[in-house]
Structure 1
Amino acid sequence: MRKSRWKIATALAATLALAGCATGGATAGGSDSAAQVPELDPNQQVDIVFESYNLAQAGLWTDTITGLVSDFEAAHPNIHVKAQPPQSGGAAGSGTASSVQTQMLAGSPPDVAQLTFDTLDFAVTALKARNLDDLVGEDAVKANFGGEHPFHPRAATLGDWNGDTYGVPYVFSTPTLFYNSTALTEAGLPADTDLSTWTKVATAAKAVTAKTGKPSLGISCSVKGGNWCMQALFKSAGGGVLSDDRKTIEFGEPGSVSAVTMLRGLYEDGVLVNADAATQYEGFAKGDIAIDLNTSALQGLFVSSAAKAGWDLRATAMPAFDGHAAIPTNSGSVLSVFSQDPVKARAAWELIKFMTSDHAYTQISTKIGYLPLRSSLTQDPAALKPWADKNPLLAPNLKQLDSIQPWQSYPGNSYVQVDDILARAIEESVFYGKDPKSTMQAAQQRAQELIG
């Protein structure tokens, strides 16, 4: 939310802001003028482009999002939406900001885009995401976060930058520990085995591995693409990735190194699988892995796979380190406006409101498994309560919403390189015999040079 509403806007400033979209200028926010974009006339026909990385995922993800877009168009017959996946290709959720940047350089960015939280700094300072408080008014932004089922207070501010709202949090989860209780019982463990700490997870995984003769534990944080939940492991072990003033990289400090060392121990014990993120979750879905720390966005896939194969799927909260409280971080994304056309920008805002509405979260949560950010929907008998009551897998994820800390974005234009340096250091330390302390400290130094 806004801290101040005083902004100076001139034609020159607008021109400079637009020119800086692809150059990484230091000034935050798009070229907003003091005037808010006007409401649309119901007969005013508008075409907009909506870019969503969920459309790069076939099945439940694409079907759910395209269904919601159709619902939106039915409710707003004058707004026509071209829904597209990121144009950069790659794994779903990767390259979201670079796709917008490439299209911006070509002069045609999407009007509204789904960007992962780790791009927030870059989206505001370099891509010039529109300041929504300026664009439609602070009251309108607050009203969207409110309503009969308001946003959870810890979720509502995740798209804020220096007190202003540049994106509306859209879909995310917390790190959820899924497990195959059938595999645990076959290994001589109770179906409801206590997995509340990493020590207890290690004990259970060793029992399953002794039975099956293969690694039984997947931790998506440990490989490239898992930076969002690796931040949770760092924080839970007393570490972090970035100082509070956003000037100093910290993933080579003792707390963070201890988290990597724990993962190294699991691998050396023969229980942690060495595979990319997709192979890990596919292995869990097939029953090859018994325990998997991952995003709840995979819940629908896991439920379907378990039902078909006849094994019992359960879930619990992210495990804690001994002597520490578990500190979950969020995965996921915000919806931000990039259109400089006032008519298209207003239409983009209408789409954002719809895609973060009670109706949208009812569809997204029941069909995909993402958290309903309007969390009180799960207490409403006319909304998600019947589903939540029948879906115990939701409970640990929903409870962790009360204690989440943000997935932090790195400052500057080299945030992707910083993440790559970190991911490489983690993999080398965990799977390839490098000393965790010296490897993580060296990575920290290289990353520090990139952010200045």
Structure 2
Amino acid sequence: MFNRMTVAGAAVFLAISANSARAEITLDVLYTTPGTFNALHQELAKRFTEAHPDIKVKFRNPVAGYEEAAQQILRDQITGRLPDVAFNGINQIGLFVDRGLGTPLDAFAAQDGGLATLGYYPTLATLGTWKSKLYGLPFAVSTPVLYVNTDLLTKAGIDVAALPKSWPELLAAGKAIEANAGTSVTGVYYQWEQTGNWLFQSLVTSRGGRILKADGCSVAFDDDKGMWALKTLEAFGKSGMPNLALGQARQSFVAGKIGILADSTSYVAAAERQIAGKFSFKTIVFPLAATDGKLPAGGNVAMVFAKDAERQRAAWEYVKFVTGPVGQTLMVNYTGYMPGNEIAVKKPEMLGDFYGKNQNHTTSIQQLPVLTEWTSFPGDNSLKIIEVVKNYTESLVTGKRAAEQTLPALVRDVTTLLPKCGG
């Protein structure tokens, strides 16, 4: 009797131990841009593990940007050390899926009632799809906006409510700002280098253009809209705009040295903290240059790279949390990016009251109806194409090339790197 009880008890103990061992999972998570996201991700992991004590979160050392993260993940595929969850640029989903990476999330979402029940904005959820399957959920979405130093505008006799809506007029306003500032300032700064191609794409789509044709492997900006975008970049250089790194431009703005800054909404919360009332500033919508103009949704999505079913389920729970109402409320308060979850926006105790009191954060929400895809360049040369676009853009804003020279050369070089359709 004693032996049978001992054996039975041992069997129960082993079963419980085995279930506990299976239940406790440590997720390997990669994110980018530590200066923006470090504190947020730590808080999200804390909140998640409090609600899910059987799932731990271990962060890899974060990398500087989306391109660096993509390169690391491609290396990880070779070494077999992929993260379970990664926060990638919206424009990189195709880069991974075409290489057999990424777990489709459609079935997981369906089991939890579907994307609408979970509260995702349909427009933003669509950005996470590739070839009709859902691979990413919107974590931190950005739109291009204008940051305006209203004190400098007032000195120049410009009413921010009547600020012009075209780039030539904005550059003229910038000159008036410089002339009346009483100190050395830059009237208009266009944050051209952001992710190497996002604000180039913003100009093209704001004019009603496209980056790639419907076939996905042919350039579409080899037209008057593409030329207009390049001429606009050239005009920034001719205006005397300095060539600053992204961080330098932001520091110049918060120091009161830039009148109008074209940048991502991702910087709103940090700008408010750093300006700390030293001057008044306001965000306003990015200028559309055509009635059918659109703006590419920037930022990042949460993707699952876990391979086995148990880890995928745990990874889904984490992705669902950070992109859900609680996670998105924290994300907005920490950063200024636009939330992908409508439940968070509609509930007063989450973001409803927040947006009512923080007008600089609402500009991104206002642009939701005009958002379009941040084009992903297909094929093995995706990251090379981004670098090519960045180099040509820099040559325009520094006055080394003219738009007429640049367009055919840029089209040629991008076309050479794109995969052949049907091949």
User: What TM-score comes out, normalization by structure 1 length?
Assistant: 0.83
1:173 Cα deviation after fit = 1.0
- Could you say which residue in structure 2 is the equivalent of 1:227? 197
Q: Output aligned runs, 1:355-374, within 5 Å.
A: 355-374=322-341
Trace 1:273-312 onto structure 2 (pairs within 5 A).
Answer: 273-308=242-277, 310-312=278-280
Other-structure match for 1:21: none
Aligned 8 A contact 2:293 2:370 in 1:
no
Letter of the 1:275 partner, please give it: L
Number of the residue aligned with 1:242: 212
Letter paired with 2:152: A
Maintained 8 Å contact 1:112/1:335: yes
Contiguous gaps of at least 5 residues in structure 2: 1-18
In the TM superposition, what whole-angstrom CA distance separates every residue of 1:322-357 from its partner, at most 9, and x where no partner exists? Answer: x54542111111111111122111111110011111
Aligned partner of 1:98 in structure 2 is 71
1:66 maps to 42
Equivalent residue in structure 2 for 1:448, among 393, 401, 415: 415
| Unpaired runs of at least 5, structure 1 | 1-39
Contact 2:219 2:415 in 1 (8 A): yes
Find out whether 1:44 has 2:44 as its counterpart: no
Structure 1 counterpart of 2:142, from 173, 179, 191: 173
Cα shift at 1:379? 3.3
Deviations 1:153-172 (A, max 9, x none): 11011111111111112111
Q: 1:175 corresponds to which letter in structure 2?
A: P
User: 1: CA distance between counterparts of 2:112 and 2:228?
Assistant: 41
Asked whether the equivalents of residues 176 and 316 of structure 1 are also in contact (C-alpha less than 8 Å), the reply is yes
Larger Rg: 2
Structure 2 match to 1:18 = none
Counterpart residue identity of residue 82, structure 2: P
Percent identity for Structure 1 against Structure 2: 24
Which of 356, 374, 391 is equivalent to 1:424? Answer: 391
More strand by share: 2
Whether contact under 8 Å (1:42, 1:78) holds in the other structure is: no
Would you say the 8 A contact 1:218–1:293 is kept in 2? yes
1:388/1:290 CA distance change after superposition, 3 Å: same
SS at structure 1 position matched to 2:295: coil
* Residues 421-440 of structure 1, C-alpha deviations (whole Å, 9 max, x = no match): 11111221232231212212
Q: 1:164 to 1:141 in 2, by over 3 A?
A: farther
Q: Deviations over 1:33-86 (max 9, x none)?
A: xxxxxxx989811111011114x22xx521111101111011000101102244
Q: Is it true that 1:53 corresponds to 2:32 in the alignment?
A: yes
In the TM superposition, what are the counterparts of 1:258-277 in structure 2 within 5 Å?
Answer: 258-270=228-240, 272-277=241-246
The verdict on how the C-alpha distance between 1:80 and 1:315 changes in structure 2, with shifts beyond 3 A counting, is same
Separation in 2 of the partners of 1:399 and 1:255? Answer: 24
Distance 1:320 1:434, change over 3 A: same
Decide whether aligned partners of structure 1 residues 378 and 167 sit closer, same or farther in structure 2, where only a CA change above 3 A counts: closer
Question: Of residues 353, 370, 373 in structure 2, which corresponds to 1:406?
Answer: 373
Partner residue in 2 for 1:335: 302
The residue aligned with 1:318 is: 286
Going from structure 1 to structure 2, the CA distance change for 1:268 and 1:339 (only over 3 Å counts) comes to: same
Name the structure with the higher helix share: 2
Residue identity matched to 2:384:
Q
Equivalent residue number for residue 143 of structure 1: 114
The answer (yes or no) to whether the contact 2:204–2:226 under 8 Å persists in 1 is yes
Displacement after TM superposition at 1:179 (Å): 0.8
Distance 1:61 1:97 in 2: 17
Give 2:170's aligned residue: 201
Residue 353 of structure 1 aligns to a residue whose secondary structure is: helix
State how 1:111-190 maps to structure 2 within 5 Å: 111-134=84-107, 136=108, 139-140=110-111, 143-147=114-118, 150-190=119-159
Equivalent residue pairs, number: 399
Write the distance in 1 (CA, Å) between the matches of 2:246 and 2:293: 22
CA RMSD of aligned residues (A): 2.1
Give distance in 1, aligned partners of 2:123 and 2:168. Answer: 29
Distance 1:75 1:377 in 2: 18
Name the structure 2 match of 1:37.
none
Q: Give the drift of 1:382.
A: 2.5
| Deviation larger for 186-195 or 97-106 | 186-195
Cα pair 2:234 2:399 within 8 Å, conserved = no
Conservation of the 8 A alpha-carbon contact between 2:85 and 2:315 = yes
| Secondary structure at the counterpart of residue 74 of structure 1 | helix
SS of aligned partner of 1:407: coil
1:438 is the counterpart of 2:411:
no
Distance in 1, matches of 2:70 and 2:95, equals 8
Q: Which SS does the other structure have where 1:274 is aligned?
A: coil
Q: State the one-letter code of the partner of 2:270.
A: L
Separation in 1, partners of 2:216, 2:112: 27
Contact 1:101-1:127 at 8 Å conserved across structures: no
Tell me, yes or no, if the aligned pair for 2:73 and 2:82 is still in contact at 8 Å: yes
TM-score normalized with structure 2 length: 0.89
Moved >6 Å (runs of 4+): 40-43
